[in-house]
A and B are shown apart, each in its own frame.
Chain A
Amino acid sequence: METIQTDVAIIGAGGAGLRAAIALAQADPKLRIALISKVYPMRSHTCAAEGGAAGVIKADDSMKQHFDDTVGGGDWLSDQDAVEYFIHEAPKELTQLEHWGCPWNREADGSVAVRPFGGMKIQRTWFAADKSGFHILHTLFQTSLQFDNIQRYDEFFATDLLVDDGRCQGLTAIEMRSGQMRCFLAGAVIIAGGGAGRMFPFNTNGAIKTGDGMALAYRAGVPLKDMEFVQYHPTGLPNTGTLLTEACRGEGGVLLNKDGYRFLQDYGMGPETPLGKPVLKTMELGPRDRVSQSIWHEIRKGRAVKTPWGDCVWLDMRHLGEKKINERLPFVRDISISYLGVDPVTDMVPIRPVVHYMMGGIHTDINAATPLPGLFAAGECACVSINGANRLGSNSLVEILVFGHRAGLSALEHARGVGRSSEAALSAQAEAAQGRVRALFMRNAGKESIAGLRKEMTDTMEEGAGIYRTQEGLAKTCDKLSELRRRYADVALHDKTNVYNTDLLSALELGSMLDCAEAVAVSGRERRESRGAHQRLDFTARDDANYLRHSLAHYRGSEPPNIDYRDVVITTSPPGVRDYSGAKK
């Protein structure tokens, strides 16, 4: 097996991975950085983020207010020391991106413009029309091209971490083009592999978001934290799940039931605000968890809009006018027309809540370090945690920058202090990893299909671990996932060739998703309270006495994970009431 020697290996080349790579390249031009990704960097799902990135720069804003919005938005499950670090670094990172050429929207005087966003009390979201993530990703990717010491391994699928002497020292990855396994030996490894939303049937996520990075760490013994918190975005196109950015509402779009009534006022987010004059942290600018949950209740009350794709509510942007829609939301208009045949300039758009983001992920501390020495993680695959039980829109694009940067510097510090333990031991592990993939190739008798198992997995996730959960539903889903993980051992490939074998890739991705899905369901079953995005019909209140704690799911091979807990870090903001009513002002 070909072995590649490197100082720091990064798995994932989206926003967090690229930010880490650039930080490393700038810190030391002699450093060897291996940037390994199953797709070309610009295909990473950062590109799909639309709305923008939050950072305090305006005179009427303050760090304290961004802190309060984030901690309250997260239903007090965020670690407050991490949030403090995050909000202080945010404006620096966004300015850095500006210096690298990011085409942020501007005020007439040439300064960076900000827009309102859900759950934020002050306008602080930097944006590049409705393609903010796309521009951030391409700015980072293009900037990375000037550093010759960033060695990219595009279309390499990481299969295993190499751990010896109690620390992570590399990984194995399949080169898609040849089908050959490669061994990367590194002083430190950073995982920046993104989320796992594809475990649900109706989601905004790209096909690549299958939790591979999370599964890598989990199987190597690093716990997955707060996995039960899965964010539903309120406004997905009902047929494809395609995201319509929160900026639709930030710019003044409103949500209506079948009678044309702005129902959010019935769910503690009123009173109704004037049309075209959105009020921050009120009505349509409530946080995602609350807005999505209100839509669910409204549908249950029989006030849904019936569509061929199921029950929806209306997103009405018509009053914004063609000019504003073209200027601020051009992409929203494009995709509504092409996938649904609805033009938001002239028609209301039917929408329904859609799985969007994992608040949980690889357990990391404020330095982006996991409990496994030598292993770091950043971005959606990690859980620091700044997002707590519910992420605010426009915090994640900043998170990838702040903690991608941090992960790079932490990994460098670690890599400088260590040598390899035993190359023989690491090689043996790499050979074993290769053996497992070979066994999958050689398996002939398998009767399970990848597509079939995937469908059963997504169905059970929606049924038992969806937007509202019960003990019974979660228990059933846990049982089903145990069964599916057993049956996964019976998957056989139809394609036994080496070059760009997507049958193999799909099988490995399904394995990642099943492991992550089980962590979601079991963590959810054990959290007997409602908090943020985790809503239980049988335990409807938040329970700080028992659950003001992070869950940690520990991998146990073919057995379901073991769950234990860890205290939330509280510095200045004791748990309070989340108030999104207009009356508070």
Chain B
Amino acid sequence: MSENRMAIRQVELEVLRYNPETDDEPKFQRYSVPCKNEWCILDALNYLKDNLDPTLSYRWSCHMQVCGSCGMMINGEPKLACKAMVRDYAGVIRIEPLSHFPIERDLVAVADDFMAKLKRVKPYLIPGEKRSLADGEYQQTPEQLARYRKYAMCINCMLCYAACPEYGLTPKFIGPGAISLAHRYNQDSRDGGRDLRQEEIATNEGVWECTFVGACSEVCPKHVDPASALQQVKVASTVDWYLEHFMSWVKK
């Protein structure tokens, strides 16, 4: 917390601009922004919009790494603009919308595909045993909670999709974020919907598309570790297959 956090330096931002109404293709626009050392990239963009160019469009809200709005490519890496600090970058900083998604406008990516995939994996509790409100809460020990809590931390920021080479090549791949959330419910002691979700995720468009590059886990701002979720789903689905084909008398 030293005084030099307030120091100001001119930072060159190279920002991708694209307006489907007026542009044939995306182009970069250069801005010189006086940035405080303590700023995140989002602060720099907000300065830019308020003072230099009100026509730039991007999404943001919470400025505290939890709403998931401000995912973008910063020097080629998917980042939350509110988590990437200006002081960690030297030279020109290049800012683009998230890779692998169509561009709606400037830094705004089209999120339709992710939203559709999220719905497809049934990311909600399908109770194993029904309870009424009068029965009170399900019992769940801290250990049972720990089995899925990490996967419940997903903020839907889509950085993992922008990092995933498989998703870039094969857009039908359900992808790391949605599969992690399916896995989150599969791992929940209250849930009984695993078979329904496996129909979506233990498939060629699901986990078997993943080649375990692990980029998803590296870029995840919430340490959800989607790669481990995908691996666990693969193992579970392999076990399912063996049980079904060789040991069909054993109950899964």
**In the complex, per-residue mask of A190-231: 1 if CB is within 8 Å of any chain B CB, else 0:** 000000000000000011100000000000000000000000
Q: Which of B8-16, B117-125, B197-205, B211-219 contacts A (4 or more CB under 8 A)?
A: B117-125
What is the CB-to-nearest-CB distance from B5 to chain A, in angstroms, rounded to a whole number? 7
Q: Is the CB of A497 within 8 A of B141?
A: no
Indicate whether A338 reaches chain B with its CB closer than 8 angstroms. yes
Q: Is the CB of A98 within 8 A of B138?
A: yes
Indicate whether B235 reaches chain A with its CB closer than 8 angstroms. no
In the docked arrangement, what's the CA distance between A499 and B57, Å? 10
Q: Is the CB of B67 within 8 A of A48?
A: yes
Indicate whether B19 reaches chain A with its CB closer than 8 angstroms. yes
Q: Name the residue of chain B whose CB is nearest to the CB of A143.
A: B124
Q: Is the CB of B55 within 8 A of A495?
A: yes
Q: Is the CB of A500 within 8 A of B105?
A: yes
In the docked arrangement, what's the CA distance between A398 and B115, Å? 27
**In the complex, per-residue mask of B131-143: 1 if CB is within 8 Å of any chain A CB, else 0:** 1010011111110
Indicate whether B66 reaches chain A with its CB closer than 8 angstroms. yes
In the docked arrangement, what's the CA distance between A571 and B21, Å? 60
Q: Is the CB of A450 within 8 A of B133?
A: no
Q: Is the CB of B50 within 8 A of A451?
A: yes
Indicate whether A371 reaches chain B with its CB closer than 8 angstroms. no
Q: Is the CB of B152 within 8 A of A40?
A: no
Indicate whether A555 reaches chain B with its CB closer than 8 angstroms. no
Q: Is the CB of B1 within 8 A of A350?
A: yes
Indicate whether B243 reaches chain A with its CB closer than 8 angstroms. no
Contacts of A243 in B (CB 8 A): 64
Contacts of B61 in A (CB 8 A): 39, 43, 45, 206-208
In the docked arrangement, what's the CA distance between A143 and B42, Å? 31
In the docked arrangement, what's the CA distance between A350 and B230, Å? 41
Contacts of A47 in B (CB 8 A): 62, 66-68, 155
Contacts of A108 in B (CB 8 A): 141-142
Please classify the interface of chain B as helix (H, G, I), strand (E, B), loop, or mixed, using the class held by over half of its residues.
Answer: loop
In the docked arrangement, what's the CA distance between A108 and B185, Å? 21
Indicate whether B94 reaches chain A with its CB closer than 8 angstroms. no
In the docked arrangement, what's the CA distance between A208 and B60, Å? 8
Contacts of A92 in B (CB 8 A): 133
Interface size class of B (residues with CB under 8 A): 35 or more
What is the CB-to-nearest-CB distance from A331 to chain B, in angstroms, rounded to a whole number? 8
Q: Which of B91-117 contact A (CB under 8 A)?
A: 104-106, 108, 111, 115
**In the complex, per-residue mask of B178-200: 1 if CB is within 8 Å of any chain A CB, else 0:** 00010001001011000000000
| Residue from B54, B108, B140 within 8 A of A110 (CB atoms) | B140
Q: Which of A24-32, A134-142, A255-263, A285-293 contacts B (4 or more CB under 8 A)?
A: A134-142
Interface size on A, residues (CB 8 A): 68
Contacts of A101 in B (CB 8 A): 124-125, 185, 188, 190-191
Q: Is the CB of A206 within 8 A of B63?
A: yes
Indicate whether B58 reaches chain A with its CB closer than 8 angstroms. yes
Q: Is the CB of B1 within 8 A of A307?
A: yes
Q: Is the CB of B155 within 8 A of A134?
A: yes
**In the complex, per-residue mask of A493-521: 1 if CB is within 8 Å of any chain B CB, else 0:** 11101111111001000000000000000
Residue among B54, B133, B144, B191 having the largest count of chain A Cβ atoms under 10 Å:
B54
Indicate whether A60 reaches chain B with its CB closer than 8 angstroms. no
Q: Is the CB of A95 within 8 A of B136?
A: yes
Q: Is the CB of A451 within 8 A of B51?
A: yes
Q: Name the residue of chain A whose CB is nearest to the CB of B58.
A: A502
In the docked arrangement, what's the CA distance between A40 and B68, Å? 10
Q: Is the CB of A146 within 8 A of B122?
A: yes
In the docked arrangement, what's the CA distance between A101 and B145, Å? 11
Indicate whether B148 reaches chain A with its CB closer than 8 angstroms. yes
Contacts of B6 in A (CB 8 A): 308
Indicate whether A268 reaches chain B with its CB closer than 8 angstroms. no
In the docked arrangement, what's the CA distance between A112 and B190, Å? 14
In the docked arrangement, what's the CA distance between A45 and B27, Å? 33
What is the CB-to-nearest-CB distance from A448 to chain B, in angstroms, rounded to a whole number? 12
Q: Name the residue of chain B whose CB is nearest to the CB of A494.
A: B54
Indicate whether B127 reaches chain A with its CB closer than 8 angstroms. yes
Indicate whether B83 reaches chain A with its CB closer than 8 angstroms. yes
Q: Is the CB of B1 within 8 A of A341?
A: yes
**In the complex, per-residue mask of A28-60: 1 if CB is within 8 Å of any chain B CB, else 0:** 000000000001101111011000000000000
What is the CB-to-nearest-CB distance from A401 to chain B, in angstroms, rounded to a whole number? 13
Q: Is the CB of B65 within 8 A of A335?
A: yes
Q: Is the CB of B155 within 8 A of A42?
A: yes
Indicate whether B85 reaches chain A with its CB closer than 8 angstroms. yes
| Residue from A48, A143, A494 within 8 A of B55 (CB atoms) | A494
| Residue from B38, B51, B155 within 8 A of A239 (CB atoms) | B38
In the docked arrangement, what's the CA distance between A111 and B43, Å? 42
Contacts of B145 in A (CB 8 A): 103, 105-106
Q: Is the CB of A145 within 8 A of B119?
A: yes
Q: Which B residues lie at the A interface, using CB under 8 A?
A: 1-3, 5-6, 19-22, 38, 40, 49-51, 53-69, 83, 85, 104-106, 108, 111, 115, 118-119, 122-125, 127, 131, 133, 136-142, 144-145, 148-149, 152-156, 181, 185, 188, 190-191
8 additional A-B pairs beyond A92-B133, A498-B21, A502-B49, beta carbons within 8 Å, are A39-B67, A45-B67, A99-B133, A100-B124, A206-B62, A335-B65, A500-B106, A502-B56
A-B residue pairs in contact (CB < 8 Å), sample of 28: A42-B67, A45-B61, A47-B66, A47-B155, A98-B137, A99-B125, A99-B131, A101-B190, A105-B142, A107-B142, A108-B142, A142-B123, A143-B124, A143-B125, A145-B119, A145-B123, A206-B67, A207-B61, A240-B63, A308-B6, A341-B1, A342-B1, A350-B1, A450-B54, A494-B54, A494-B55, A500-B106, A502-B49
Q: Which A residues lie at the B interface, using CB under 8 A?
A: 39-40, 42-45, 47-48, 92, 95-96, 98-101, 103-112, 131, 134-135, 138, 142-143, 145-146, 154, 177, 206-208, 239-240, 242-243, 307-308, 331, 334-335, 338-342, 347, 350, 449-451, 493-495, 497-503, 506
